[in-house]
Amino acid sequence: MVDKNVLVINIPCIGEDLNNELNKKVDEYNKIIHKLCKDYSFKLVDFNFWKKSQLKTNTNKYFIPKKPFKMVLDFIFVRSPKISNIVSKKRNLVPTIDGVHLNDHSARKLAELIKEKISSK
């Protein structure tokens, strides 16, 4: 048997409303992911936990623009880290720019969490 290091990132919450139905499903799947990581000694990056800690007081229900033109503008303009943070703040969102896609701060945090897990023994 070949010994390999496996790193798993769990499913982050969807949107910024922790009480929505999608996040209840996400929690169910993450319990299974957590158990599998434990059973097979995989390293788990618990990004869901971090993201939830950022959302404890936020109940913003903003979720991806419904107008196609606005979606195109989002795609074009939020590619810049500075702009993604501005858009996020303007929409009163915390870790995302549209309820799904990470802003610069959250993307950096995910990278940091991954780096920590890779570095740990």
CA distance 56 to 52: 6
DSSP string, 2-43: -----EEE-PPPSSS-TTSHHHHHHHHHHHHHHHHHHHHT-E
pLDDT at 121: 67
pLDDT at 60: 62
CB 44 within 8 Å of CB 34: yes
Which residues of the chain register pLDDT less than 70?
A: 1-3, 57-65, 121
Distances (CA, A) of 55 to 16, 20, 95: 7, 13, 8
pLDDT at 24: 93
pLDDT at 64: 64
pTM of the model: 0.81
CB 23 within 8 Å of CB 48: no
pLDDT at 2: 47
Residue 48 domain boundaries: 7-119
pLDDT at 1: 44
For the chain, how many structural domains are there in total? 1
The mean pLDDT of the chain is: 84
> Does residue 2 lie in a domain region?
no
CA distance 5 to 86: 37
